[in-house]
Structure formats: C-alpha cells, structure tokens
Amino acid sequence: MELLVFYAFCVGAVVSALLMVTTKRPVRAAMSLVATMSFLAGLYALLNAHLIAVLQLIVYAGAIMVLFLFVIMLLNIEEKEGKLAKNVFFIQLAGTVVVGILMVAMVVVMNKIGAPVAAVAVDETFGTTKAVGWMLFTKYLLPFEIASVLLLAAIVGAVILAKRRIDNSGS
Amino acid sequence: MVSLNAYLMLGAVLFSIGAVGVLAHRNALIIYMCIELMLNAVNLTIVAFSRFLNSLDGHVYVFMIMTVAAAEAAVGLAILIALFRNKPTVDVDEINLSKG
C-alpha cells in the first residue's frame, strides 16, 4: 500500500516537473510547479514529516506560487518567437545532454548509498509540530532568529526594489 | 517500506529536471521556477535522510531552506519587476547590460 502511494506520488511529481520544463507559457509552468509541490508534500507526509508537508503546501504551493502568478499577470508578457531560435536549440541540446549525464551519475551514486538502517521505526512524535518546534526553540534558536532577520531584510529589499522611483526632475 | 535509495533517486531526477530547465529556458520567470524545483528536490533528500537516520535536525534544515527560498523569490521577483520597468522583457538574453 505504502509502495503504491509512493509510486503514484513519484510519477506525478516527475511528470508535472517535466511538463513544467517543456512548456513555454509561464502560467502553465507555474501550475505544473504547484502540482509538483503538492505531490512532494504527499511524499513528506509519507516520510512522517507532517509539519514539513503542511508547510510545503502553505508556503510553497500557496504563498510563493501566488507571488509568481501575481508577477506573471503584472508583467503581462506577450509571447514572441525567439529570433535566436537556432542558437537556442543547440544550447538546449547541450544543456540537456550535460545534465542527463549528471543525472545518470547521481542516480547511480544514490543507488549505491547503503541505507543507514533498512526501516527504522520512529516514535509517534517524529515530525510533529511540537517536536520540530522544540528543536527550533532550543538547539536551533540562533539560526531561527537569524532567519527572521533575513526575512525582514527580504521584505525591505523587495519593497525598495519594486516601488516606483520618485521622479526628482519633475514638479 | 520504501527504501531510502528510492527517495534519493527521485530527488536526483527532480534536481536534474530543474537544472535542465535553468539551462534551456530564456524566460527569467521560468528559470526562477526551475530553481524552486531544484530547492524542493534537495529538501526531499534532506527529509528522506532525516527519516531514515531518525533525527529531527533535517526538518529544521528544510525549514531554513524554505525561509531562504521565500526570501529569494520575493527579492528575485522584485528585481524582475524593476528590470521590466526599464526594459519590457523577461528574456535573459536581452538583459545583458553588465556584460561589459
């Protein structure tokens, strides 16, 4: 049963990821990415990472992708045929070949990694909000606080970058 | 029980798909999305290791990666909007002002 669910999520994630990289339309790519992230959330739940699974859905599939869709609609990009189409094709081919070799190498290496323990049973609290929160506020308190500063910096940076420049020459 | 290697291989495949997307696409928005996909593949690897080593530290790392990804998306898209205001394109081949 678990194997079946795993393969279903697996195939779903890979297929929607492939759909994302093969399309040229940003909105279609964004929706495919939402599907990939939802499948990955299912895989996290399968790995007993309950909090991470929910965060994946809320933060990634929710917040970040909505941000992407907003920007796509804001920019209103018209499709246009590339004038460099011929060059781009060879670049794409070369990139695909190189990364294909990399992928084969990675998969072979990943397959060789000996599992630390075949199937260790975890206790019921593994991956719950309480357990992860406990870690965050004890062992990883400093990184947690630094992350909050990082988010503040990102908010300020995004506002400064995206706001309209005040024109000093006018008026 | 699904083996650790299956999760790791799925992570490797997703990471490679994301890398192909970064190399093959010229649309800056889609390149951002492919970077998000690569981050997600790494997250999957970390969560799988965390589960099989029976240690919660991996979940905290994934939490941090999500924070950085959110910050990166916000700032990156703001940069894109600022660029678009100067030059109405998201094609990375045409955004080459600092090429020298």
The pLDDT profile of chain A, 171 residues, written as one tens digit per residue, is: 888 999 999 999 999 999 999 988 889 999 999 999 999 999 999 998 999 999 999 999 999 999 999 998 888 776 655 555 567 778 888 888 888 898 888 888 888 877 665 566 777 788 889 999 999 999 999 999 999 999 999 999 999 988 877 666 554
Chain A residues within an 8 Å CB radius of B94 = none
**Among the partner residues B34, B64, B75, nearest to A158 by beta-carbon distance:** B75
d(CA A148, CA A157): 14
Residue in the block written with tokens 């809320």? A58
Q: What is the pLDDT of residue A81?
A: 53
Q: What is the pLDDT of residue A168?
A: 63
Q: What is the pLDDT of residue B54?
A: 86
Q: What is the pLDDT of residue A85?
A: 58
Contact B1 A118 (CB under 8 A): yes
What DSSP character marks residue B82? H
CB B52 within 8 A of CB A116: yes
Q: What is the pLDDT of residue A106?
A: 86
CA A44 from centroid of its chain's CA atoms: 13
B55-90 in b/e form (b: 16+ CB < 10 A) is ebebbbbbbbebbebbbbbbbbbbebbebbeeeebb
Contact B81 A162 (CB under 8 A): yes
Q: What is the pLDDT of residue A151?
A: 94
Structural fold of domain B4-86: Helix Hairpins (1.10.287)
More confident residue, A102 or B96: A102
Q: What is the pLDDT of residue A115?
A: 64
| Residue B27: strand pairing partners | B91
The predicted-structure confidence for B16-59, as pLDDT tens digits, reads as follows 999 999 988 888 899 999 999 999 999 999 999 998 888 889 99
Residue in the block written with tokens 């045409």? B94
**Which phi-psi region, left, alpha or beta, contains residue B89 (left: φ > 0; alpha: ψ -120 to 50)?**
beta
d(CA A144, CA B63): 9
- Provide the strand spans (E) within chain A: none
Comparing alpha-carbon positions, the chain A residue that sits nearest to B46 is A44
Contact A64 B73 (CB under 8 A): yes
Q: What is the largest CA-CA distance in chain B?
A: 55
Average pLDDT over residues B73-93: 86
**Domain positions in chain B:** 4-86
